[in-house]
Structure 1
Amino acid sequence: MLTSLKNPWIKTLRKLHLAKYRRQQQQFLLEGTHLVQVAIATQYPLQAACATEAWQVRHPALWQQLSQCTARQETVSPEVLGAIATTETPDGVVAIAPSDTITTTVDAPTLGLALEDIQDPGNVGTLMRTAAAAGSDGIWLSQNSVDLTHPKVLRASAGQWFRLPKQVGDNLLAQMSTWRDQGCQILATAATGAVPYWQLDLTHPMVLVVGNEGAGLSASAIAAADHTVAIPMMNDVESLNVGVAAAVILFEALRQRQAAG
């Protein structure tokens, strides 16, 4: 059993709390039973795993699966597990996964979601979970958005991180042009001067573009969209959380498509 926080491997894993080390090592942490289960179920490659003895007793079959799909498994003390994890009360297991297999491409999406400079990891994870629930083909993120392997992104996605195609790009305007050439209508969210979302025909292939939590979408992205859409609100409410706003529009698209048969 590993009990020392000075163990070289443990020290390396703790560095993965930081985005720059995750990029350097091309690795990230999966914390908790649920994420490990989903990773195995979706056949996402895992490199190593560590767990407390108590967790192994509770989940013997899952520990056996980890022994079959990882090159290294270590039993660690609760103190060491707590130092590796980023949560305050980890449930006893952390796996290490490669990040060089993440990027996927969604060609000609029917219901896509694009994020411009979204900084909050909880929002990005929630957007992934919402997009998957609404039947989205995938999610596109700008380079200035939060790191995809941030632990809070993974947790907030409730496992949909592994199932939803995702792509990081450096030129939103060029990507919007590509989607338009593929037959998609581009919808940009805006607070004013926009059409209420329910007035648009969302049964056709579309990509919804949402912007930064504080600044919103850039003027260039709004100008390049086919439509700007708004969610009408009471006068004393200035804005909605970006995850909530995207959910309202994506599920309206789903409703229209189901109604159309």
Structure 2
Amino acid sequence: MKIRFGYGRVSVVTYTFARAALLSKTSPMNSDSTILKETCAICLENVDVLKMFSVDYCFHRFCFSCVKKNVEVQLRQGIVPKCPFEGCRSDLEIDSCTKLLTPELIEIMTQCIKEARVPFTERIYCPNSRCSTLMSKCEALEFSEMKCKNARESGARKCIKCCESFCVNCKVPWHENMSCYDYKSSHIYSCSKDAALDSLAKKEGWRQCKKCSHMIELAVGCFHMTCRCGYEFCYTCGMEWREKKPTCTCPRWDECYIIRN
């Protein structure tokens, strides 16, 4: 059993007795567990209690199928999965979800949790296309100062994973003896790749977040997009959503993104 302390967490004793009380209401009194059913709060189907998922700490229960679909939608939007119960803000524990999710989704969930722990303004991603490791600015600086001199003054950083050097100011591989402006003006790195990316984005119908400039692709769902930086916008025109409402008149969805073949 995992123990957590702090605001919003129940004590170990409360957690233990609450769990025991819940199980006493749902566990069968005989060896034939298949006769005991429980209603899922999402699909309202009567489901075998052994196929029900219990959220840690809040104890809201749903069938495996509904939780899996709910978690996948949240992960595809770059959101750390939370309890599906309306108004509940309990985070889902990754250890509890391993039996529900594919290895791909577990990896996405791990990345989402890691990103959520680093404030957006502090995030740095390794520009090495084979790495793209997430770091905080503080973490990258501390690691770089152990590896190279004048890291703080020069802006040079080393990735904590692949150890490739890069510029923290313009987010490209390190350009020694050359300013960021001169480096970009030389067309050595970014211009041709940016043009190729813009061309590919137009071809594939991708959209760019106006706040952080990350490229986003809609795989499934409505046109209300939430970037990993937290910015919400319309996938069709790019206009901002405010207080969960659009500022444009574009359609909210297209059936081809809602209904999977």
What range describes the TM-score normalised by the shorter chain of this pair? Answer: under 0.3
Larger radius of gyration: 2
More helix by share: 1
Structure with greater contact order relative to length (CA < 8 Å, sep ≥ 6): 1
Q: TM-score, normalised by structure 1?
A: 0.27
More strand by share: 1
Q: TM-score, normalised by structure 2?
A: 0.27
